[in-house]
């Protein structure tokens, strides 16, 4: 039983990877917006008129902006790659209910009660379907190798 529970926990962690990318993208986009807002407020004095700022401020701003934009591009790429892999694995399940539960939970990020409402089931039924879906879901071979080493 312990091995099954451990394997199911690994599957959940793998499936949660997609939502992790979504959260990181949102955070980076928020950081970029904040950085841009700070930059525009740095060049305004109390008189409300824009004034030039030191070159060092501008180079630091440009470097941080570049770093965040590169992070955003990388995270978006990883999100797409992760989505494709998880979606393919979910589609391999035989049960439509199992596919729906995993998709709504791990791709759409819905709460359990939202999934139950959307599928017209009780939350208890959704938990049962989720448990069966985890049993039938197959992790990539390389994911198991990585998690066993930690």
Contact between 90 and 11 under an 8 Å Cβ cutoff? The reply is no
Residue with the bigger pLDDT between 3 and 10: it is: 10
pTM: 0.75
Q: Indicate whether 44 pLDDT > 70.
A: no
Q: To which residue do tokens 């008189």 refer? A: 47
pLDDT top residue among 149 and 93 = 93
For the ranges 30-39, 88-97, 121-130, the lowest mean pLDDT is seen at: 30-39
pLDDT, tens digit, 9 for 90 and up, residues 69-98: 999 999 999 999 999 999 999 999 999 999
Domain extent listing, the chain: 2-45+54-149
Is-contact 29 72, C-beta < 8 A? yes
d(CA 112, CA 129): 12
Please state, rounded to an integer, the average pLDDT across all residues of the chain: 85
């Amino acid at each position: 039983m312990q091995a099954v529970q451990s394997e199911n926990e690994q599957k959940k962690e793998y499936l949660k990877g997609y939502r992790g990318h979504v959260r990181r993208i949102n955070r980076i986009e928020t950081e970029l917006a904040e950085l841009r807002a700070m930059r525009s407020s740095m060049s305004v004095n109390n008189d409300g008129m824009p004034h030039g700022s030191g070159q060092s401020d501008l180079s630091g701003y440009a470097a941080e902006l570049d770093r965040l934009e590169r992070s955003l591009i990388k995270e978006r790429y990883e999100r797409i790659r992760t989505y494709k892999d998880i979606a393919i694995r979910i589609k391999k399940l035989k049960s439509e209910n199992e596919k729906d539960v995993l998709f709504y939970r791990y791709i759409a990020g819905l709460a359990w009660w939202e999934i139950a409402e959307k599928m017209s089931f009780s939350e208890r039924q959704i938990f049962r379907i989720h448990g069966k879906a985890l049993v039938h879901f197959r992790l990539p071979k390389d994911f198991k190798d990585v998690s066993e080493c930690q």
